[in-house]
Amino acid sequence: MVKKLTRTGNSVALVLDREILEATGLDAGSPVEVSTDGRVVVISPVADKKGAAKVDAILGKLDRRYARVFKKLAE
């Protein structure tokens, strides 16, 4: 999909279509992280710290509960 940048005051904006917003779970006001390698611009949702902590807790519980199984699977 090719998009054009739009002038907004002294800045430039990128308008995202509804399909992209729905696919990424973003909406107006969503925090995003913008990064670049000097050529490519990457826009990604900011990681939810609560969600990440919850996933870490679940993985820790699974690791404790199934440590022997995971060890055998790794062999």
pLDDT, tens digit, for every residue of 15-69?
999 999 999 889 999 999 999 999 999 999 887 777 778 888 999 999 999 999 9
Q: What is the pLDDT of residue 62?
A: 93
Q: What is the pLDDT of residue 67?
A: 92
Structural domain tally of the chain? 1
Residue with tokens 């807790």: 57
Q: What is the pLDDT of residue 26?
A: 92
Alpha-carbon dihedral 39, 43, 56, 23, rounded to 10 degrees? -130
Q: Is this structure's pTM higher than 0.95?
A: no
Q: Could you tell me the residue range of the domain that residue 62 belongs to? A: 5-74
Q: What is the CATH number of the domain that holds 12?
A: 2.10.260
Between residues 10 and 75, the one the model is more confident about: 10
CA 68, distance to chain mean position in Å, is 32
